[in-house]
Structure 1
Amino acid sequence: MSPLKAPERVVGIDFGTSSVRGVEVTTHPKKGPQVRRFARIALPTGAVEDGEVMEPNTVGDALKRLWEKGRFSTNKVALGVGNQRVLVRPFTVDDQPPARVREALPALVEEILPFRAEDALIDFYPIEPHPSDIGRVNGLVVAAAKHAIDEAVRAIRIAKLRTHRVDLIPFALSRVHLWGEYSNGTIALIYQAPSSTTVLIATNRVPRFVRIIPAGDEDVSTHMQQVLGKDLEELSTEFSSRTRNQDPGHFKQAMGEASEQIAKAAHGTVAYWANSTGQSIDTVLLSGRNMHSPAVFERFSSLFDNDTKLAHPTGGFSLHESINAEEMRIAAPSAAIGLATGGDSWL
């Protein structure tokens, strides 16, 4: 089973703290979905924080340069959300048309939101009919703060691009990684991003649970600065100059130690789901730049009794011959790839 095909040309955009990444996916007649174009542009400190655009003008200028570098064939953008200001919870609603469900959601979920319903974009992802309550549907309610999305959309407009859709990053990641041998069974996909770590649990590729832990690469970097005696600029240069397998021993050790608490939080999240549902995890799949460090992989895998594996940086997508595979491994653009492949929009 292969990943989903991209129905149209859309560039997936992933905003990190130190860079913005863009990916365009096409369909190769023999190889299937393929990363056709990719580019990455560095961002100055403070332009993006915790996955949110703080300086739209600065980010808009970076997007203009990203388009020049990537030579993307479209101005349509798929924007992802997935930091700690996004809530994803199991929820049950009446079985109604999607438009009716969306209309009723603000009043239904107001009590569980960390922000006012009128300040949020809210949607519902249906999974299955309720087993004992006829006329009801189990699924996931997804809510994100409007402000965070509005600033990103503003940056996209400044770059004279068009926001085609807004997608949940955990869902985008599932489209990239849950294929082939990971199409069946219950998989815990753990993705470490700059400011957060996502835990997504899916059965036969259908997402059933999502938690976003408010700690990620940046927290690891802060710890490593103290241990290695390097400032952020020096550390960022080292991070971007090589893959994690190429890191020297002391660098790997510091990264492993810095990832300990995130690994424990992810393990606790998976254990909570397994205990509350009575279901077991078949495979734990690790994704993200830091996960490719042997020391980090060891920290995570030692906590799980399940089969723990490292996800391929580009999932089931091949690369066009013009794209440097080494650069892709360093950039870890799986979120941007998933955003480029489709998904429902909140806009």
Structure 2
Amino acid sequence: MLIQKNWPLIDFNTFGFNVTASEFISITDIDQLKELFDSHQLKRTDIGILGGGSNITFTTNFEGLLLRNEIVGKTTIDENSESAIIEFGGGEPWHGAVLHALSLNLGGIENLSLIPGTVGAAPIQNIGAYGVELKDVFRSLSAFHLPTGEIHHFDANSCEFGYRDSIFKREKRGNYFIVSVQLKLSKNASIKTQYGDIQSTLNAWEIAKPTIHDISKAVIQIRESKLPNPAEIGNCGSFFKNPVVSSEIIPALRVQFPDIKTFPAGMGLTKVPAGWLIEKAGWKGFRRGDIGVHAKQALVLVNYGNGTGQEVIDLAHEIQADILSKFGIALEMEVNAW
């Protein structure tokens, strides 16, 4: 098994930062992980796990052993008249998993079309969009425990899913390499059109009774119209989480900002779109050198070519401080900084 030295990562992070990993290996099967464990490589404290690189901001070169998840595979585990359980390799591209489900006429993840990254990274983040989250269809995952070399299995409860959150971003952070994920997908999925511009897009297409395929096409068109293609402009998609705040502070904010956008989040909580806050504060389209805020979507920070990860993080901190000052709301980064 070959461990690459000083491996360039410019093609392995969607921001396109020109950084390197001092040691790098592509993991294509569990046997490689077992071999690394047996050789005591996994006892190191400088190990990183990389999926699609679409939720990472490298602030400098990675000094350590970087494991890239390239375990692929798509298998139907169980099926009945109402649903099917599909197991995907952790290194499968997420959008590829969506397309596979659609090819089998299985619904549940069509609203998550075109989200970048891998299947293995999806439960870590509990990815979500347009009214759907991964946890809605999640059945289980299998993960290699780096400290012990054991395969552990997690159901939805043990993953402790939250808003863009799971146990793998907290207590289990960095301890597990996700080998496979099982999703329970429906043959009679309920169509969700009430979020974002899905319904208006369908109306423009004169589609009165949309299928899961129509929803996917609509989501793809919406995302492509609003979000920059990382192949053209480096970015990680949504950089900040939508803050969830006490509903008690909303009336005062609405007096000051009558056009504030809000969504109920349950139990006396309200979600405020981070993109609206950033745009209202005047950051949309901001540029400093090769780093900036996208002109069409204020939630997206971008690298126009030769920017650095540290410059992106510095800009993010400036935006956070400004939003806190103007609105009294703390923004949390969705992207991980390394």
Per the normalisation by structure 2, the TM-score is 0.27
Q: Which has the higher contact order (CA 8 A, sep 6+)?
A: 1
**Rg comparison, structure with higher value:** 2
